[in-house]
């Protein structure tokens, strides 16, 4: 069969030296058994020379590069066997070296198969919609803006957005996540993922070369081609082992008075454990990283990463989401928050400003009906104005909207508060009156605090946040994250200087995602880029690329690197320790050359099998408790529903003093209905149903006791507010009542946000894929300012 012939041919091409060594050794044994010693010696000598030649060439190449590894011992052993007429010993050594090379080839092929599979499945063509026809075109011809059809089981050819239908995607090849992901109209789809549902249409947003999958393939090729650093760890040990071998062999020769004794020592010292254990372990670690959505560009990076003691992180896009979200809405007039958001988002549909999409997305998330504005004009750097449903709406900076007018006490208090908190604001004017403002924040990634704690547990001494942001905003984010130091207001050049100073004291990792991070990534001992967008300079400059846009992959990469390096060292130490013991027996004449060569073969197998442990997960590979998928999805929906309502508590506390008695009573009635009809029943249901289910997945007698205590505080504050509302006089709240109302509202807002953050942490610990289905903008009680 042609297929079988191809397999045989590939096997012979890869393992030709091993095949010829086996044939030569067996032929010699056959001639020796037949009594033809001269033919046997010739066969064994030819086998030795056949292996000796490529080993000599490789050593000469190393010497040209001013490197001499432990394979010099193998050369001395085979050369000595030929010189002393120990042809059988030479053939056994040759077989041992050929076997070691073959095992390295096999282990490397096994370890890198996940990386190679990315290259094999790269799409070559795309189905483009040309009018009323579908045309299959080479992927190189696809341009941004083309409409493409992604059929069932097809690999998405280029980055794009869903233009028609619903995409059900298998993203495991890129992210390592096993669950299917659903993308609706207008949502982004990365190239390289597989359509696991019905056909759908995408509008290409990039060419194939500039898409995610092409970028990953470039990184994979870089990782596979980076071979030289793999042996650096072994070479450091070789500096000591090679002289030791020569000293012991020379001493044995002098002690016994025969060169055969020295040959026996050199034979058992042939350093296959050093030659093979380090590269096999490190390539296995690279492969394991790839399975977790982490591309490591070669063994040198994983080896250095294992010794990291400091991590420097950019803020925007790395520790934060990198895209602003509407944190809360401030109301200054009679219009309600939903109405202000609807008017502003309708107008912003025609704006090109970076914050416009955030307002539109917030309105759509709340199910508000947007209309197309008319008479729209946009003033760059100031704002936008137009007519929405017959009302004149202006949206932008405070100075532009209120160039000459007076402002109310509520507006002044709001602006003072924003100066203290940080964040971006967009003011709204409706029919000439300042109606409200939006506070936009760049939220902390929900997994970021957890990732930082995991780095500390993994042995990182210092985590530093570097950013170009104002120190006030940067310090607030750093405090929420728990980093050790914050370096704010830095230019890209100053980031490079900061990383350089750290490198002088310890191995330093830099993590970033933007173009301005590329110089610092290149300057660090190990640069780590967030995401694998094909053309980004940060991915090109980095040594490690997190293909999954999640920071918690960083401690995973560090743990894998540390385990890989430990296994490489253990495998080498075990192999070389056995070799040293055998050298002692050989030096005193208890181990002849042939027996020593056979024993060394067994030592090689032990070292290589030990190195292959790096493919497994160790403690990380144990089966862990996981949250059921339906439960995780239900919790995500609940959080996304609650968060906008929580911000209304703070908004009411900010402006209740400026309301009339009737407005304040109505607002308090609405909040009371929300607390008694929604929040309290929800939290009691959590206590009754959810927490018992989660407690089964956790260890300890009362693993959720602290969260239950938070619930009790929520119930207590809700009861206080209910009492305040019930005891209000018919004329509405007086000044003393307002002080108590504001106190309880602020407390409720803080405790409820803390409860959401606690549950996010719990969900992350039980469901590694929780974030792939959605992200809450609240974590650790802080939503930091934009970067």
pLDDT digits (tens, 9 = 90+) for 650-680: 878 887 877 777 888 888 888 888 888 888 8
Among 41, 159, 314, 604, the one annotated catalytic: 314
pTM for the predicted model, two decimal places: 0.67
Q: Among 579-583, 640-644, 748-752, 772-776, which is the least confidently predicted range?
A: 772-776
- Contacts of residue 341, defined as CB under 8 A and 6 or more positions apart, other chains included, come to 326, 329, 359, 362, 363, 366, 368, 438
Contact indicator for 134, 127 with CB cutoff of 8 Å: yes
Q: Which two tokens stand for residue 286?
A: 């690279």
What's the confidence (pLDDT) of residue 541? 66
Most confident of 9-13, 171-175, 213-217, 719-723: 719-723
Mean pLDDT, residues 193-205? 89
785 burial type by CB count under 10 A (0-12 exposed, 13-18 middle, 19+ buried): buried
Contact indicator for 622, 304 with CB cutoff of 8 Å: no
Q: Which two tokens stand for residue 294?
A: 């982490």
At 699, give phi and psi (nearest 5°): -100, 160
- Contacts of residue 688, defined as CB under 8 A and 6 or more positions apart, other chains included, come to none
Share of the chain above pLDDT 70, in %: 80
- Listing DSSP states for 717-767 in one string gives HHHHHHHHHHT--TT---HHHHHHHHHHHHHHHHHHHHHHHHHHHHHHHH-
In a 3-state reduction of DSSP, which class is residue 590? coil
Q: Which two tokens stand for residue 536?
A: 């980004």
Q: Which two tokens stand for residue 525?
A: 């001992």
At 193, give phi and psi (nearest 5°): -85, 160
Whole-angstrom Cα distance, residue 106 to residue 104? 5
Query: Measuring CA to CA, how many Å separate 161 from each of 112, 150, 199, 260, 669?
Result: 32, 12, 14, 73, 43
Q: Which two tokens stand for residue 722?
A: 């209910």
Residue whose structure tokens are 């809360």? 328
Query: Measuring CA to CA, how many Å separate 620 from each of 233, 504, 554, 584, 616?
Result: 24, 32, 14, 39, 9
Whether 314 is a known active-site residue: answer yes
- Start-end of H helices in 292-367: 299-305, 337-348, 356-365
- Angle at CA of residue 679, ends 723 and 783, nearest 5°: 110
- Phi-psi bin for 598: left (phi > 0), alpha (psi -120 to 50), beta? alpha
At 27, give phi and psi (nearest 5°): -60, -40
What's the confidence (pLDDT) of residue 334? 79
Q: Which of 472, 465, 475, 461 is nearest to 505 (CA)?
A: 461
Q: Which two tokens stand for residue 348?
A: 């912003």
- Angle at CA of residue 528, ends 524 and 532, nearest 5°: 140
Q: Is a pLDDT exceeding 60 seen at residue 757?
A: yes
Q: Is a pLDDT exceeding 60 seen at residue 376?
A: yes
Name the band, by pLDDT with cuts 50, 70 and 90, for residue 175.
Answer: low
- E strand segments, 315-468: 325-331, 374-379, 383-388, 391-396, 424-430, 433-441, 462-466
Q: Give just the sign of the alpha carbon dihedral 166, 154, 118, 221.
A: negative
- Angle at CA of residue 740, ends 735 and 743, nearest 5°: 125
Q: Is a pLDDT exceeding 70 seen at residue 693?
A: yes
pLDDT tens track for 564-577: 888 888 887 888 78
Mean pLDDT, residues 750-773? 68
Q: Which two tokens stand for residue 166?
A: 């619903």
What's the confidence (pLDDT) of residue 302? 85
Average pLDDT of the residues of the chain: 78
Q: Is a pLDDT exceeding 80 seen at residue 700?
A: no
Whole-angstrom Cα distance, residue 596 to residue 503? 46
What's the confidence (pLDDT) of residue 279? 73
Q: Is a pLDDT exceeding 80 seen at residue 2?
A: no
Instruction: Write the secondary structure of 451-468 as one string of H (helix), E (strand) and C (coil).
Output: HHHHHHHCCCCEEEEECC
pLDDT tens track for 29-65: 898 888 888 888 899 889 888 888 887 887 787 777 6
Q: Is a pLDDT exceeding 90 seen at residue 462?
A: yes
What's the confidence (pLDDT) of residue 219? 58
What's the confidence (pLDDT) of residue 228? 36
- Listing DSSP states for 597-644 in one string gives HHHHHHHHHHHHHHHGGGGS-GGGGS------HHHHHHHHHHHHHHHH
In a 3-state reduction of DSSP, which class is residue 388? strand
Q: Is a pLDDT exceeding 50 seen at residue 466?
A: yes
Whole-angstrom Cα distance, residue 784 to residue 303? 35
Name the band, by pLDDT with cuts 50, 70 and 90, for residue 604.
Answer: confident
Whole-angstrom Cα distance, residue 243 to residue 239? 7
pLDDT tens track for 497-514: 999 999 999 999 999 876
Other CB atoms within 10 Å distance of the CB of residue 12: 11
Whole-angstrom Cα distance, residue 124 to residue 119? 11
pLDDT tens track for 727-744: 877 777 777 778 888 888
Name the band, by pLDDT with cuts 50, 70 and 90, for residue 775.
Answer: very low
Which position has the higher pLDDT, 81 or 510?
510
- Listing DSSP states for 234-287 in one string gives HHHHHHHHHHHHHHHHHHHHHHHS-HHHHHHHHHHT--HHHHHHHHHHHHHHHH
pLDDT tens track for 413-440: 888 777 766 667 899 999 988 889 998 8
């Amino acid at each position: 069969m042609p297929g079988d012939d191809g397999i045989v041919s590939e096997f012979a091409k890869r393992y030709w030296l091993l095949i010829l060594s086996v044939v030569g050794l067996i032929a010699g044994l056959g001639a020796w058994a037949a009594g033809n010693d001269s033919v046997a010696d010739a066969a064994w000598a030819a086998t030795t020379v056949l292996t000796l030649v490529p080993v000599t060439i490789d050593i000469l190449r190393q010497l040209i590069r001013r490197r001499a590894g432990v394979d010099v011992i193998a050369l001395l052993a085979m050369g000595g066997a030929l010189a002393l007429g120990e042809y059988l010993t030479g053939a056994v050594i040759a077989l041992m070296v050929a076997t070691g090379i073959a095992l390295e080839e096999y282990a490397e092929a096994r370890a890198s198969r996940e990386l190679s599979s990315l290259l094999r499945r790269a799409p070559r063509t795309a189905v483009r919609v040309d009018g009323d026809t579908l045309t299959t075109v080479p992927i190189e011809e696809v341009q941004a803006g083309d409409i493409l059809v992604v059929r069932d089981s097809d690999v998405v050819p280029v980055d794009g957005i869903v233009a028609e239908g619903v995409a059900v995607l298998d993203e495991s090849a890129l992210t390592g996540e096993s669950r299917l992901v659903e993308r609706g109209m207008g949502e982004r789809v990365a190239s390289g993922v597989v359509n696991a549902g019905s056909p759908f249409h995408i509008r290409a947003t990039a060419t194939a070369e500039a898409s995610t999958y092409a970028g990953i393939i470039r990184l994979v090729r870089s990782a596979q081609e980076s071979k030289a650093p793999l042996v650096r760890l072994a070479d450091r040990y070789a500096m000591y082992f090679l002289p030791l071998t020569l000293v012991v062999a020379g001493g044995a020769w002098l002690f016994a008075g025969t060169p055969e004794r020295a040959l026996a020592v050199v034979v058992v010292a042939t350093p296959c454990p050093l030659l093979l254990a380090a590269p096999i372990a490190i390539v296995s670690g690279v492969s394991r990283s790839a399975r977790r959505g982490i591309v490591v560009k070669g063994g040198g990076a994983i080896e250095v990463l294992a010794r990291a003691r400091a991590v420097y992180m950019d803020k925007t896009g790395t520790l934060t989401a990198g895209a602003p979200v509407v944190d809360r809405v401030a109301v200054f007039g009679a219009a309600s928050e939903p109405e202000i958001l609807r008017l502003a988002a309708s107008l912003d549909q025609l704006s090109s400003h970076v914050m416009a999409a955030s307002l539109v997305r917030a309105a759509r998330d709340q199910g508000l009906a947007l209309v197309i504005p008319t008479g729209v004009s946009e003033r760059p750097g100031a704002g936008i104005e137009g007519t929405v449903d017959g009302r004149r709406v202006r949206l932008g900076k405070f100075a532009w909207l209120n160039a000459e007018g007076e402002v109310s006490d509520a507006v002044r208090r709001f602006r003072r508060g924003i100066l203290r908190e940080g964040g971006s604001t967009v003011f709204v004017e409706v029919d000439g009156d300042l109606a409200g403002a939006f506070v936009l924040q760049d939220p902390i990634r929900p997994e970021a605090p957890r990732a930082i704690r995991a780095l500390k547990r993994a042995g990182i001494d210092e985590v530093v946040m570097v950013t170009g942001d104002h120190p006030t905003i940067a310090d607030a984010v750093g405090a929420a994250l728990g980093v050790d130091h914050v370096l704010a207001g830095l230019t890209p050049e100053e980031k490079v200087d900061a990383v350089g100073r750290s490198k002088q004291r310890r191995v330093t990792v830099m993590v970033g995602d933007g173009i301005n991070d590329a110089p610092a990534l290149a300057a660090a001992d190990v640069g780590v880029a967030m995401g694998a967008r094909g053309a980004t300079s940060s991915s090109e400059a980095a040594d490690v690329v997190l293909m999954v846009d999640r920071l918690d992959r960083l401690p995973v990469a560090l743990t894998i690197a540390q385990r890989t390096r430990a296994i490489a060292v253990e495998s080498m130490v075990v192999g070389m320790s056995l070799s040293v013991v055998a050298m002692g027996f050989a030096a005193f004449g208890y181990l002849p050359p042939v027996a020593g060569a056979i024993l060394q073969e067994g030592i090689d197998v032990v070292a290589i099998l030990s190195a292959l442990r790096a493919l497994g997960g160790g403690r990380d590979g144990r089966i862990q408790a996981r949250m059921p998928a339906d439960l995780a999805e239900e919790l995500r929906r609940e959080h996304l529903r609650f968060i906008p309502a929580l911000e209304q508590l703070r908004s009411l506390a900010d402006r209740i003093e400026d309301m009339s008695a009737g407005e304040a009573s109505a607002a308090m009635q609405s909040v009371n209905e929300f607390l008694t009809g929604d929040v309290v029943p929800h939290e009691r249901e959590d206590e009754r149903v959810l927490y018992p289910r989660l407690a089964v997945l956790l260890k300890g007698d009362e693993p959720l006791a602290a969260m239950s205590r938070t619930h009790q505080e929520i119930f207590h504050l809700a009861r206080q507010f209910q009492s305040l509302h019930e005891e209000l006089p018919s004329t509405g709240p007086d000044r003393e009542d307002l002080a108590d109302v504001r106190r309880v509202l602020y407390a409720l807002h803080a405790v409820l946000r803390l409860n959401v953050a606690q549950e996010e942490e719990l969900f992350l610990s039980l469901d590694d894929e929780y974030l792939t289905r959605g992200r809450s903008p609240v974590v650790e009680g802080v939503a930091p300012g934009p970067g």
